[in-house]
Structure 1
């Protein structure tokens, strides 16, 4: 599992140190001092962070660790929405802007903390009126509009567990998530708008709930004129709120009560429903939003993710709002109406903290420097990256062209499962392109071989987390065995499924997945999900997919397909298969290439050896193939 790297990779690394004022003014200040304090007394460190939030009842104990299960802030009671809203309305931030939304054609909507709380309370009361109660699951399948945030916070307010599904997924993927989570209500919109085109969301929901018996109501945000007709079980988002009081007492939640389920691609079988709980998740996202992003009261913060992914949960909604930030969101894409779209928004909104994906950065590079150079980006104070490793070339471009060679870059490593940032370079610390950074205070990380032995610098291995943290997943919904696997692959540590290499001074370079997950444009796509979509087509007998390096997306998907007898390869069939995957899983999961083959490399037990396909595709040595069938 370990491999030695070209020593220059970890020794002759460029470094950039921001102006000392950054460290001096940062909430965290001296990284090493704070990290040492954490190591000396981990529970005291997390208790100090938790005390910055509002609790209805304090905890008896910071953590209980019964390997591999953790409980955090045991006995404590709280409500997450009260920490995101009431906490600020009851102090000096009542009239501070919480949320700014920008749509196509220049439409803008602004919510102060007071206005957002009123809307959340009214929608929460409307949910209660149709019978949604504490512990029920609500599926949210919406565009990136303020109502999506309102729906999430309203669920948090009444103790309903939300399962947000990215609006780019197709009907089959949505159906699987609705059924697995036993969703009682689905909240959607008639359309999402992308690059000037209206994409039908409600039509996908109509199909997805056909055999989902737990769904009692569908709530529709109607954006089009004239409004789309609603049928039995369907309710209008705003009509439900008519006459509802704008006060809704927050449900008292135990720190360990389930907060949300978020499905992430599994390397085998169906996607995993990652379960996060109220107390630990709240503390983890608040701490990292404040101390990693260094959010101050006068910042305007923009994370370009979507709440359908964990980044949107943690760093659009819960973390920044718990800190009391002004959060900017938009339905606009980086290349529409032109390649200056994002830079124009940064100039117009005076964005100070900008958090985006390496895919977007590589796309900006491809479009050329002339686009960002047209705009005034001087408001930017901090820029960040999330979703996959930020390659050195993209780092250099981002730092020089967008950050004007002075803005710190936060290259953050974390996962749906971790709930919060785990590894980055703290504000003010020296940055090394290609290296995410060091474990943040609160986190013990290491790079080890398959036996769990720490590897020496310059050596590749498996990234692991050595001790529990508050915002860790508590289980995989209805599949606790899959949860235990994270802690039992290498006994005693949490194995994250990524390969990494240690540099000098404790910096860690993330190399990518060690399992069968392909990261396409920052989205985790399970090979198993794409393969099963292909095999569900009447012409396909078997399929295998791999990720191929792509200069913009990081990876593209290539599929190898064995056809059933009586079906012949053709371009028309290729197009048919692409369309089939698109309608089943959504456009993000569509293969970029399809090869029709007669056989696939397999082990004697019948497991497809994707690494052999990948090695052959890349012109590399496939390594040990002694387990191959032939």
Structure 2
């Protein structure tokens, strides 16, 4: 699906007159009360979009498409190999479930602006709960099912929900994780006492209901269906928590109007998807990707969305994603580079992909962390379609850099680059004094204000923290926290968080560049480079690598070749001398490697294992590996065979 308008003209128009550009995009949606103006500022001076307009996101996602004759089209395709379940929900069925569940929430006392926490895995019932909250003007906050009670308690105290909706449990590979005891523990720890807990009972694990407080999910579905409530465009839709540097999570806020306009636009312009086509986003609804491209954007555009409960490997094997694409005739797939690396590690020759008909697939989009060139090339050769790395954040809610397949004249994707600025984003690379840097020079990635619709207008109940965290570094700009550069042809490269730049004897070096070199070795499945403290040079880089299954080389030989490669391409000034082979790397559930935690571990600093970690046991494995090599300040006095 391509528009005749060119990328260059569209991007230029979006910056020349943002208000006019986005008011035109807003006209593509059925408003209850159309906005007369696109852009305004509130009492704090923060930008707001479509003030005065009224609509409802749940109506736009469901009722509108049923009215337009799409009632029998698949809206949600639930595919759960971990429970051996496959079910398709049409737009009419999803509307019926959502409207009745919304009625049930009303019976529990949930009304306009009340908060509801949803603590569930990738289930249709979670999607229904999200849309039902939106339908009655309540504000939902999805928290990963399985999050530690302490972390859930922090979110309960911040959001102060009237209701918590949870599943009785989740399935991790072949391991059952009961959720209800975790919820009960979190409520006992929280100062705010939630009035009601709604429990969706799963067949493989039952939660114990507390009399007088807990309600069975199915009971709410017996309520009478309710219509969507028209809310102001600036009314909160959801809160999504992201880790904060102080240990207190930051509640990223999203509104109804700007969110709907931006996501519908992105489906056409960025992903090139038309109504009736199918997208598979291999993410979780607990992340921004799941909110935007499993739930809201596909339904706003009238597409079919694959809701997958499982992992890219071991459910049952590394061919699961390819089976999903073939079985559900997916046009666009979106996942994290770490998922592709996991698949590549277990099936390096791509034999499982070749067992499926992938002819429906047009593009593979990757985001979440920088995609190294080796992974990029492997996926492109295997699938025979463009692999498009693009960049965005929880705070933006939709892509800031991309190769927009829905617009004409778009430069082709390039390995290592996240593409070009998406219309609406004036991306600038600045030095530490706030001055633009020349092409090829690494600087700080910022976006000139105003941010386009769909981005967070502020943090939940914390305008001061919003200003301090994002707007104070460079007045007039949003500071992303990432470093990167723009080349002479306009391609932008994101090199990772600013604290991923290390200082070796006065030389500022990018760990991302070193990781690129390590990842290009044929034996390496994935890697991370961290800078650890050194009394002589300030910092020195250390590489952690996971090797591919079945590679023929000895570990010692791989280590020596990797050191030689880095020193050969960057030079001796990098002081790159150490590579440690590990079985796996610590990651968040979205696939981001916990580099900061690794550095703190090596430097002997106090740290808390992040609540977002996929498996806390990995930290112990890495600790033992560091001990064996006497790495870092914490272990440098230990003998070689310690631990």
Q: TM-score range by the shorter chain?
A: 0.7 to 0.9
1:102–1:109 contact (8 Å) kept in structure 2:
yes
- TM-score, length of structure 2 as denominator length: 0.78
Cα 1:27–1:69 change in 2 (3 A) is same
Contact 1:77/1:255 (8 A) holds in 2 = yes
SS at the partner of 1:505? coil
What residue in structure 1 maps to residue 158 of structure 2?
180
| Pairing partner for 1:431 from 393, 413, 434 | 413
2:278 pairs with 1:237:
no
> Is contact 2:429–2:446 with CA below 8 Å preserved after alignment?
yes
When residues 547 and 271 of structure 1 are mapped into structure 2, their CA distance, relative to the original with a 3 A threshold, is farther
Once residues 143 and 186 of structure 1 are traced to their aligned partners in structure 2, the CA distance between those partners, rounded to angstroms, is 14
Unmatched runs of 5 consecutive residues or more in structure 2: 502-510, 513-529, 531-540, 547-584, 637-643
1:463 to 426, 445, 456: 445
Q: Distance in 2 between matches of 1:481 and 1:69?
A: 11
Instruction: Determine the C-alpha separation between the residues in 2 that align with 1:165 and 1:460.
Output: 35
Deviations 1:290-316 (Å, cap 9, x if unpaired)?
A: 221111234221001111011111111
Distance in 2, matches of 1:548 and 1:267, equals 25
- Closer, same or farther: CA 302–86 of 1 in aligned 2, 3 Å: same
Give how far 1:502 is off. Answer: 1.0
More off after superposition, 487-496 vs 509-518: 509-518
- Aligned match of 2:493: 509
Partner of 2:61: 84
For the residue of structure 2 that corresponds to 1:327, the secondary structure is strand
* SS state at 1:61 partner: coil
User: Which whole-Å CA distance do the structure 1 matches of 2:31 and 2:542 have between them?
Assistant: 45
Of residues 305, 314, 335 in structure 2, which corresponds to 1:356? 335
Deviation, 1:65, is 3.8
Higher relative contact order (CA closer than 8 Å, sequence separation 6+): 1
Rounded to whole Å, the distance in 2 between the matches of 1:350 and 1:78 is: 32
**Inter-CA distance 589–72: structure 2 relative to 1 (3 Å threshold):** farther
Q: Which moved more, 1:468-477 or 1:322-331?
A: 468-477
Q: Is the 8 A contact 2:276 2:302 kept in 1?
A: no
CA distance in 1, matches of 2:176, 2:256: 35
Quote how far apart the aligned CAs of 1:28 are: 6.4
Give the Cα separation in 1 of the matches to 2:253 and 2:110: 19
Query: How many residue pairs are counted as aligned between the two chains?
Result: 535
Q: Which residue of 1 aligns with 2:195?
A: 216
Q: CA deviation at 1:581?
A: 4.7
Q: Greater CA deviation, 221-230 or 280-289?
A: 221-230
1:300 to 270, 278, 291: 278
In the superposition, the TM-score normalised over structure 1's length comes to 0.80
Aligned partners of 1:268 and 1:516 also within 8 Å: no
Given the superposition, is the C-alpha separation of residues 561 and 173 from structure 1 closer, same or farther in structure 2, using an over 3 Å criterion?
Answer: farther
Cα 1:135–1:366, aligned 2, differ >3 Å: closer, same or farther? Answer: same
Rounded to whole Å, the distance in 1 between the matches of 2:204 and 2:430 is 58
Match of 1:555 among 593, 613, 616: 593
CA distance in 2 between partners of 1:219 and 1:470 (Å): 33
Supply the distance in 2 between the matched residues of 1:613 and 1:419 (Cα, whole angstroms): 39
Moved more, 147-156 or 228-237: 228-237
2:120 is aligned with 1:138: no
Find the counterpart in structure 2 of residue 113 from structure 1.
91
**Gap regions ≥5 residues in structure 1:** 1-24, 520-526, 528-545, 565-576, 599-611, 617-630
What does 1:7-406 align with in structure 2 at a 5 Å threshold? 25-27=1-3, 29-65=5-41, 68-104=45-81, 105-212=83-190, 213-224=192-203, 227-232=206-211, 233-242=213-222, 244-246=223-225, 248-335=226-313, 336-367=315-346, 368=348, 369-402=350-383, 404=384
Change (3 A) 1:134 1:340: same
Distance 1:563 1:421, change over 3 A: closer
C-alpha distance after superposition, 1:588-624 (max 9, x if no partner): 56635237999xxxxxxxxxxxxx979x9xxxxxxxx
> 3-state SS of the aligned residue for 1:494?
strand
Q: Aligned-residue CA RMSD in angstroms? A: 3.0
**Residue 593 of structure 1: aligned partner:** 622
Q: Does the 8 A contact of 2:459 with 2:466 survive in 1?
A: yes
Q: Secondary structure of the equivalent of 1:187? A: strand
Residues 1:300 and 1:453: Cα distance change in structure 2 (over 3 Å)? same
* C-alpha contact 2:371 2:389 (8 A) present in aligned 1: yes
CA drift of 1:112 comes to: 0.7
Measured after TM superposition, the shift of residue 204 of structure 1 is 1.0
1:43-84 CA-to-partner distances (Å, cap 9, x unmatched) read 121111111111111113110146850111011111010111
SS of the aligned residue for 1:510 comes to strand
Tell which deviates more after alignment, 56-65 or 552-561. Answer: 552-561
Alpha-carbon separation, structure 1, partners of 2:542 and 2:240:
24
What SS does structure 2 have at the residue aligned with 1:421?
coil
